[in-house]
A and B are shown apart, each in its own frame.
Chain A
């Protein structure tokens, strides 16, 4: 199975400041069809996960443009350009290139 490793575990951020989360995979996530199936999910306290980003950098409908994804191969990053109070929660990367799906361990974003 593909192992997904996220860092940091916890990310205290000042409101309005940027934040960056790293995700690394144990194998390349480039699928034989040429796509890279790397997703980012946000889980607010008490809620189900919500997908923010798919295929590395494509934002889901309704996701604010302060969220952006980048990367390739085995190294990926989620960036929040200016953290807002509603961004508090745990963020997970997930690969869908190979079955079974595998998730990173999560990064908790909190306001300083």
Chain B
């Protein structure tokens, strides 16, 4: 059974930093590109970032470029998102996902508030 389990979501002040983690199991992790997708409360899905299977290629949404960094550790079947200079508009559920394969985690809530 495919499992993606996110962790690290908390309440953080504007300007703060946070690192999200995602533990993958049930599939060959290093065969797939991985993504972070977020969803603000009551809003739609917004793609945030992707990383290729080997970590050699990364992409970011304009809204997070220069502030967020995606990475992976294939030896530990893990995906990460380093989030710096957080803003109120970054408040959302963050999903670890391989949407092209239909794989989604349960999400972790990041709240940016003073």
Binding site for B on A (CB under 8 A): 37, 39, 41, 43, 48-51, 54, 60, 90, 92, 94, 96, 99-106
Check if B44 sits within 8 Å of A92, measured CB to CB. yes
Which of B61, B102, B104 contacts A54 (CB under 8 A)? B102
A-side contacts of B105, CB under 8 Å: 48
Question: Which are the 3 A-B pairs with shortest beta-carbon distances?
Answer: A51-B102, A96-B100, A103-B45
Binding site for A on B (CB under 8 A): 35, 37, 44-47, 50, 59, 61, 95, 99-100, 102, 104-107
A-side contacts of B59, CB under 8 Å: 99-100
Chain B, residue nearest A96 (CB)? B100
Residue among A41, A96, A103 having the largest count of chain B Cβ atoms under 10 Å: A103
Do A96 and B99 form a contact, CB below 8 Å, given A103-B45, A103-B47, A106-B44? yes
B-side contacts of A50, CB under 8 Å: 102, 104
Chain B, residue nearest A60 (CB)? B102
B-side contacts of A54, CB under 8 Å: 100, 102
Check if A100 sits within 8 Å of B61, measured CB to CB. yes
Check if B45 sits within 8 Å of A99, measured CB to CB. no
Check if B45 sits within 8 Å of A49, measured CB to CB. yes
